[in-house]
Chain A
């Protein structure tokens, strides 16, 4: 790889120092008693529309997104653009379901999806299933954020062997761990503002400057091989790539807000109104994501994949190196520093929120439910802080000692697993009709079938479902959540009839779900 890019490294380092200071200073922002879990882990539920916009945006559009979506466009072409319909679909879901969840969680002091499920359905095993799914799906997601940092550190020209090679990542990790521990959710909320600013500057500069350098969009798309430019038209008796594209968008959108970190971001809003308003304002990010996906094609047109100076980077990081290589190729060093800092900080924000969300889950729904049933507020907050450290250490160890490919595959499985909590959490926000054990069976079968299907296609996202001579390749998560839901619907009346319990256990009432 090329030598260290000092100018870029200094800009990168300076921005990192700045957000480190911000992360610690955030403890004093909208000050609350950080010895209470909802203060540490939800920022005291005090964030208004604007902060929520930055926080949720910083939460959902992660560094890995900025690296991986263009990388997929670079490698596989048109299919990567499913990220665009995905971001169009997520906001109606946010608008319809999550204000209700916010109201009920606020009313009852719930801080996790599992808290809500326990209150709504009164079944601690169903709540445990939601908890474990959330934890297991979040861990590889945190690890992938660290991959994002790793790629830009590599692109800055820092290389070495053994411990020295990993040192920058370890430093970034220590920064992240320390400010999350001391400031809780306030840290990523404040840093998210800087991160978004940097990302916007980078995205717009890239989308304006690079096409001019490359001679216009017509030339860029002319350089894209025809097979990558559009989706392959399906043959007879199959929905082909069309169905795959649509189900990937739908399934990913349905899964998104079930991730613990999404809910943490949403519950930290100060009102259900702030959430609805955000559903109308957040598409601002979607447009940027679409523009970023195009950057993968810029990288094809710029031919960075064939330039000798980037060969080592592509060898080490695969297509994930496409964006850093293109930025290095197209911009002066000082701007590369800004752009890389945007990606690096863009990794810290979601990683912090994810570790907080995982800590909230463990503390509330495993430790308090099964181990120490009557913790003091201080014990509970202390436990969450410790768990957030453990979770991040786990993610770091994963990235340092396990091939990156495993983290990517686990994250894929995580999407299939987390969507299985949809009936209990999202539909639960609307109805108590389902039988809790029916939901649990649906969850178990969906999880098992989804895992088996994913393994059967070598851990790729789509499964070729065959029905009556037709083949429907589609996103495994989407298919298995339908299976899950069908089981829950069929089993609910059966289990209800078998049960001797005649009254529903439900700590919530209809009035809790709105203002």
Chain B
């Protein structure tokens, strides 16, 4: 049922990971600070760069988890 809907481009629960990665980088009060620094880089900067990596991992997970639902080319 879930599979069939996702195949038509509908909902898959894996897409919740997208919400996680989005909220992680736009909830500014959480990361607008200097400490803890990483190799001299303030938290504000290294955290968001880490957010890029987390986003990449999330997107990759969603891709592999939903791939079988789409075309097999």
> A residues touching B (Cβ–Cβ < 8 Å)?
78, 81, 84-85, 87-89, 91-92, 95-96, 99-100, 216-221, 229-231, 233, 241-242, 245-246, 249-250, 271-273, 276-277, 279-280, 283-284, 286-287, 290-291, 294, 430, 510, 513-515
Contacts and interface: CB of A to CB of B under 8 A. Distances in A.
Interface string B1-23: 00000011100000100100110
Contacts, number: 128
Given A84-B49, A88-B25, A279 B59 contact: yes
Contact of A294 (B9, B33, B45): B45
A95 B73 contact: no
Q: Give the most central of A85, A272, A273, A291: most B CB within 10 Å.
A: A85
Given A229-B34, A277-B63, A280-B59, A245 B28 contact: yes
Contacts of B67: 276
Contacts of A291: 49
Contact of B32 (A91, A92, A233): A233
B64 to A, nearest CB: 8
A249 B25 contact: yes
A91 B33 contact: no
Contacts of A283: 52-53, 55-56, 59
- The majority secondary structure among interface residues of chain A is helix
A230 B45 CA distance: 9
Nearest 3 CB-CB pairings of A with B? A218-B40, A515-B71, A217-B40
Given A276-B70, A287-B49, A249 B40 contact: no
Interface residues of B, number: 38
A478 to B, nearest CB: 11
Nearest to A219: B40
Nearest to A216: B40
A99 B8 CA distance: 11
18 contacts: A88-B24, A95-B18, A96-B18, A99-B70, A216-B40, A218-B37, A218-B40, A229-B34, A242-B28, A271-B71, A272-B70, A273-B73, A276-B63, A277-B63, A280-B60, A283-B53, A513-B8, A514-B7
Contacts of B45: 81, 290, 294
Interface string B29-73: 100111001011110110011011101100110110001001101
A2 B61 CA distance: 51
A230 B55 contact: no
